[in-house]
Structure 1
Amino acid sequence: MTTTAPARPARTRRPASRRGVLVYAVGVLVLSVLGGLVMASSPDPETSAGALLFVMSPILLAVGLRTIGREGWADAGLRLGRERGWYAVALLLFPVLFLVPVALGALLGDVHLAPGAAERFAVLFATGLAARLTFAAFEEFGWRGYLEPRLAALGVPALRRHLAVGALWAVWHVPYIVAFGDGYTGVPLGLQIPMFSVAVLAMAVIWGVARDRTGSVWPAVLGHGMANAVAWPLLSADVLVLDSPLVFGARPESLVVLPLLVLTAVVVYQRWGRTSVGTVPA
């Protein structure tokens, strides 16, 4: 007579918990502040270890909770997903939005092309694209790869979830902005931070809906990376000279872009966010 050993129970992913979300939120904010302090004490904040700690904090917390915390990777959105038209939205949204202030400012005489602007833009865009996409992935693996699906699993309604992610995303940026001071923008920080926060909330709705519709984190990575890859060359004095950066800057929070971005978020949510197909893997 032979006997068989009892089968080992399958390892299962731990269910979503408020504790995991709290650990994530507190963790990214702590690392953000630490990164900002190191940046503020560095002669070159952008290339300091603090900047790397700052930008990597979302993915560090997400990977830690999914591995050490044994939450698993089933809902991380690592596949390309469904409804792939959202990739076109991600690719084109910010190039189109940033074209508006540049064109309008040029018509009104407030935006001036530097000599060789087109060639300089092409070089800066091409050489910076890989890094901008990588840094976007560091962020989005946390915001849309971890926090969005974790809140969804806890039953948080879609719009409230997107805005909660956006609020944390905005606060997380503050130490970085303060560490740069006047080097980040010519706009006073008392005005810059609130306007930027509104822009981040709008972006959180757009990329949150894209995450729901596709089940993938990659549209957010692509859209986030493209926004930065296009904005940084356009903000270079070697490409554009701006008489009124608060109005015509190629930034999500400029006075021309911000209302367009908020309107886009409203339309995206009204059209696609109310009938989301869920943040489950596709």
Structure 2
Amino acid sequence: MNNTNITKRNIIIFTIFSTLCGWIGYLVDKLTGQAHYENIGTMAGEEPLGMLIWLVSPLICTMVLRTFGGDGWKNAGFACNFKNNKILYLISFLVYPVVTIIVILLGVITKGIRFSNMSIGLTAYFGILFTQITIQFIKNIFEESVWRAYLTNQLLKLKLSDLKIYLLIGFIWWLWHLPYIMIFLSESEIQNILPVGRLAFFLIGTIVVTVWTVMYTEIFQITKSVWPLVIAHTMEDAVINPLLLLGIVSIEKNQAFLFSLSVGLIPTILYLIVGLSIRKWRTNPKFFYQSAKIGNRF
């Protein structure tokens, strides 16, 4: 079997396994009496065993495929490659906070967003933020090692078009989330993000995650490193989740489709602009190398 066929076979194995592992985790919770998710604290680290199975199993699968399935560990995406990619590391760190600030400002101006629990204070919020950065960084090492260092890396070997890569990664990545959306995530958490049912939330999320995939894939293609994406994903979780879960920011329900910090139309468009701009950077060698030289001066 040649390398291309091995890659295709292993992607299929990975896709099937990753889409099943969450349901296996739910079954474990049912059998052990842990399947009560409404009171699970998203930021408190109180996840039941099923959620841990859902989170960790795809990484175990990739390790098995790399070690025994012929994928190997060469150029697996774990090198930092920081020296020539300072700008992209900075973008990864800032993109979610900056877009969130822009959306909040637009929302406040148009009365689509209001501050409803400022009594918690900025000091408390930043304390929670820094705690979340640590927790989410560790969690996202697991997640990005799977979706960027493995799946994106393997699909790039097949020389597919950019659009096919975006769609495949976005669909498989979000399909992995299906048991999380339909079972693990509480109804109140969904309503805090968008006032829709679970299935509608999943379908909307498919579009949003595919848009995010453009940005994530382009950063990975240039840096050949998983670490900027770990940073970006960490900032997304750490910055946005406390604002919503602590009630500091409240989105008016009739404008949530525009201003929802995670899945709203406005932030989604902004993330798509960022992703396509990075793609332009990658596909325009002259612009890319000039920018890289500027970054190396700092």
The CA deviation at 1:132 is 0.7
State the partner residue of 2:124: 120
2: CA distance, partners of 1:70 / 1:135: 27
Are 2:196 and 1:196 equivalent residues in the alignment? no
1:1-282 map, 5 Å: 16-37=6-27, 41-43=35-37, 44-45=39-40, 47-81=47-81, 82-109=84-111, 110-114=113-117, 115-179=119-183, 180-186=185-191, 187-188=195-196, 189-244=198-253, 245-251=256-262, 253-273=263-283
The CA deviation at 1:241 is 3.0
SS in 2 for 1:156: coil
What are the superposed Cα offsets for residues 118-170 of structure 1, whole Å, 9 maximum, x if unpaired?
12321221111111111111111111101112122223233322321111011
1: CA distance, partners of 2:154 / 2:140: 20
Mapped contact 2:216–2:275 kept (Cα < 8 A): no
1: CA distance, partners of 2:228 / 2:141: 10
**TM-score, normalised relative to structure 2:** 0.80
Q: Which moved more, 1:86-95 or 1:238-247?
A: 238-247
The CA deviation at 1:38 is 5.1
2: CA distance, partners of 1:204 / 1:36: 27
Distance change (3 Å), C-alpha of 1:88 and 1:36: farther
Mapped contact 2:78–2:225 kept (Cα < 8 A): yes
The CA deviation at 1:255 is 2.9
Distance change (3 Å), C-alpha of 1:158 and 1:256: closer
Structure 1: tracts of 5 or more residues without a match = 1-13, 278-282
SS in 1 for 2:177: helix
2: CA distance, partners of 1:273 / 1:32: 37
Mapped contact 1:166–1:200 kept (Cα < 8 A): yes
Paired letter, 2:114: V
Q: Which moved more, 1:80-89 or 1:34-43?
A: 34-43
SS in 2 for 1:111: strand
Q: Which moved more, 1:89-98 or 1:99-108?
A: 99-108
**TM-score, normalised relative to structure 1:** 0.84
Q: Which moved more, 1:181-190 or 1:18-27?
A: 181-190
Distance change (3 Å), C-alpha of 1:181 and 1:273: farther
Distance change (3 Å), C-alpha of 1:98 and 1:39: farther
Q: Which has the higher helix share?
A: 2
SS in 1 for 2:209: helix
1: CA distance, partners of 2:92 / 2:266: 20
2: CA distance, partners of 1:59 / 1:257: 29
Aligned-residue CA RMSD (Å): 2.5
